[in-house]
Amino acid sequence: MTMNYINNASLLKRQLVVRFARLMFAGELKNKIDLLPLHQAPRNSEAVRCCVHHDRAVIRYRLIALLGFAIENEKPDDEARTLSSYVEEAEARGLERMAGSALTVIDEACSACIRANYRVTNACRGCVARPCMMNCPKNCISFENGQAHIDEKACISCGICAKVCPYHSIVFQPIPCEQACPVNAIVQDKNGKQDIIAEKCINCGKCLQACPFGAIMERSEIYEILRAITNPAEATVALIAPSIVGQFNTSLGKLVTALRKLGFDHVVEVAWGADLAAQKETAELIERLEHGQTCMTSSCCPAYVDAVNKHISNIKPLVSDTLSPMQYAGEWAGQQWPGARRVFVGPCIAKRAEAKASPHIENTLTYEELGSVFIAAGVDVAECEESRADLEATSVGRKFAVSGGVSTAIKNAASAAGHNVTDKVIDGLDAKSLAMLKAIEKVVKPGTFVEVMSCEGGCINGPGVISNPTVARRFLEKMLQEHP
């Protein structure tokens, strides 16, 4: 499993969100935001990058992304702009949704990772045979001080030199974000910095998890959300995704209370929408199979749906038309509390893009962001009382958080209706699984339901989670045992 291992870049980001949220709760964001880079990287501290000034420059961009702006849109003179002027702009933006991609790259943080993927290590003995030099199709290997040297500008990363070196002294070095991207949507520009191609990007967030410099940021909606929950005149609903169980090492009931303490007026379990989606999807599957369709795939993961639209559109007719659990839950909340701001709380960045195109959800917040907001508000989840959500779900919908949950639900519902369906789970998107999906009709038996999750392991391993997926899964299983 691509691991959600402990990572200093993401911890620093969480600390920054805590500082940001503290200022918002104190009503001092506009006055004090320009001090945040100084507080996060004080003068006498040890710099993470070359010096504190560079650290501060990066922090400044992180704050711009936290305010929801795309860093790519920065004009040359904007470098001199104050952060408080960005706050003013965000304020004026009002309720409009932010246009453009959900992710943004901080050039200043991107270390412009190596251009050539192959590198000569010190193990090179400068042997007489020199097979690397002899076999390089681009003639880009020369010898300096008795060791091979690769001309990075000429290298095409074919890997022949690494294969032929008798000492294995040439190593492959991937560019982490590029390697993580399942659809080749992130590429180096002419300066060696990474750019995301919006027409290809499916907002899966894998590059963001992979970058060791934390150079890829989501364009957050935290500003809008905090402004709404601290405004008593504005009604807000938190729609919590099934994978929230296990994110705070505590029960669902305590989390519900904690969300209310933050200022959300209502709390809805998106797993209720998953219950509904499972029913609708089963009926749809049975009908489609009766009409002779070979198989149908799930539609709840927006990164997958986007991948179909942008990269394997030949299988579009096979994707279920059922809305995602988030949208059903949002629709319900809209009927229940007209005009309330509906905030999806989940692990996912692709959901942010889905929400933008949906009439049923206004904003999205990740678990990481929520965690930082709890800290800033001084809300300790484990110490809250238990309370119940305004809308609760069954264990069927709650299992949507882990891979296999959707297909199990549908297989069971179909068999209860007297239909035998097989299921196949595509657990994680990468180039290989996308190629398989492209030809899915030839791969599976007729009568199959195909569940596809962009994140390996399911949403509990989404890009915005706090808990290690193993721990979260353990928690979810325990909860399902106690509340079957």
Partner 1 sequence: MAKKFKITICSGTTCYVLGGAHLMMLAEALPADLKDQVEIIDSNCIKACQYENALPPFVQINDYLMAQASVAKVVEYLRKH
Q: Shortest distance, CB of residue 215 to ligand SF4, whole angstroms?
A: 11
The shares of helix, strand and coil residues in the chain, as percent rounded to the nearest 5, are: 45, 15, 40
Q: What letter represents residue 195's amino acid?
A: D
Residue found under tokens 């002294």: 169
Residue 39: count other Cβ atoms within 10 Å of its Cβ.
12
Q: Which does 66 bind (CB under 5 to 8 A by kind): ligand SF4, partner 1, none?
A: none
Structure tokens at 269: 């379990």
Q: Shortest distance, CB of residue 33 to partner 1, whole angstroms?
A: 21
Separation of alpha carbons 158 and 284, rounded Å: 47
Separation of alpha carbons 62 and 64, rounded Å: 5
405 binds ligand SF4 (CB under 6 A): no
Q: Are 367 and 461 in contact (CB under 8 A)?
A: no
In the bound state with ligand SF4, the residue whose beta carbon lies nearer, of 37 and 325, is 325
Q: Are 133 and 148 in contact (CB under 8 A)?
A: yes
- Annotate 129-168 with b (16+ C-beta within 10 A) or e (fewer): eeebbeebeeebbeeeeeebebeeeebebeebbbebbeee
Q: Which does 127 bind (CB under 5 to 8 A by kind): ligand SF4, partner 1, none?
A: none
Structure tokens at 168: 């294995």
Q: Are 34 and 82 in contact (CB under 8 A)?
A: yes
In the bound state with partner 1, the residue whose beta carbon lies nearer, of 178 and 380, is 380
Dump the DSSP string for 155-169.
Answer: -----HHHHH-TT--
Q: Shortest distance, CB of residue 39 to partner 1, whole angstroms?
A: 11
Q: Which of 66, 141, 181, 402 binds ligand SF4 (CB under 6 A)?
A: 181
Q: Which of 37, 68, 205, 330 binds ligand SF4 (CB under 6 A)?
A: 205
Separation of alpha carbons 452 and 433, rounded Å: 10
Q: Shortest distance, CB of residue 256 to partner 1, whole angstroms?
A: 15
Separation of alpha carbons 196 and 101, rounded Å: 9
In the bound state with partner 1, the residue whose beta carbon lies nearer, of 21 and 165, is 21
In the bound state with ligand SF4, the residue whose beta carbon lies nearer, of 24 and 208, is 208
180 binds ligand SF4 (CB under 6 A): yes
- Spatial neighbors of 356 by CB under 8 A, at least 6 apart, are 97, 98, 102
Structure tokens at 234: 């504005």
In the bound state with ligand SF4, the residue whose beta carbon lies nearer, of 123 and 197, is 197
Q: Shortest distance, CB of residue 97 to ligand SF4, whole angstroms?
A: 19
Q: Which of 454, 466, 473, 475 binds ligand SF4 (CB under 6 A)?
A: 454
* Segment interacting with ligand SF4 (CB under 6 A) among 88-96, 163-171, 342-350, 441-449: 342-350
Residue found under tokens 């299988």: 315
Q: Which does 201 bind (CB under 5 to 8 A by kind): ligand SF4, partner 1, none?
A: ligand SF4
Structure tokens at 181: 């991207």
Q: Which does 205 bind (CB under 5 to 8 A by kind): ligand SF4, partner 1, none?
A: ligand SF4
225 binds ligand SF4 (CB under 6 A): no
Residue 432: count other Cβ atoms within 10 Å of its Cβ.
10
Q: Shortest distance, CB of residue 309 to ligand SF4, whole angstroms?
A: 12
In the bound state with partner 1, the residue whose beta carbon lies nearer, of 263 and 302, is 263
Q: Are 364 and 341 in contact (CB under 8 A)?
A: no
Q: Dihedrals φ, ψ of 296, to 5°?
A: -135, 145
Binding residues vs partner 1 (CB under 8 A): 5-6, 11, 14-15, 248-250, 368, 371-372, 374-375, 379-383, 466-468, 470-471
In the bound state with partner 1, the residue whose beta carbon lies nearer, of 14 and 32, is 14
Structure tokens at 465: 């989670």
Q: Which does 455 bind (CB under 5 to 8 A by kind): ligand SF4, partner 1, none?
A: ligand SF4
Q: Which does 240 bind (CB under 5 to 8 A by kind): partner 1, ligand SF4, none?
A: none
Q: Which does 36 bind (CB under 5 to 8 A by kind): partner 1, ligand SF4, none?
A: none
Q: Dihedrals φ, ψ of 15, to 5°?
A: -60, -40
Nearest to 288 by CA among 81, 448, 80, 56: 448
In the bound state with ligand SF4, the residue whose beta carbon lies nearer, of 257 and 454, is 454
In the bound state with ligand SF4, the residue whose beta carbon lies nearer, of 90 and 429, is 429
Q: Shortest distance, CB of residue 271 to partner 1, whole angstroms?
A: 22
462 binds ligand SF4 (CB under 6 A): yes
Q: Which does 183 bind (CB under 5 to 8 A by kind): ligand SF4, partner 1, none?
A: ligand SF4
Q: Which does 82 bind (CB under 5 to 8 A by kind): ligand SF4, partner 1, none?
A: none
186 binds ligand SF4 (CB under 6 A): yes
Closest chain position to ligand SF4 (CB): 462
Helix axis angle for 431-438 and 302-311, nearest 10°, is: 70
Interface residue list for ligand SF4 (CB under 6 A): 103, 180-181, 183, 185-186, 196, 201-207, 301-303, 347-348, 350-351, 453-455, 458-459, 462
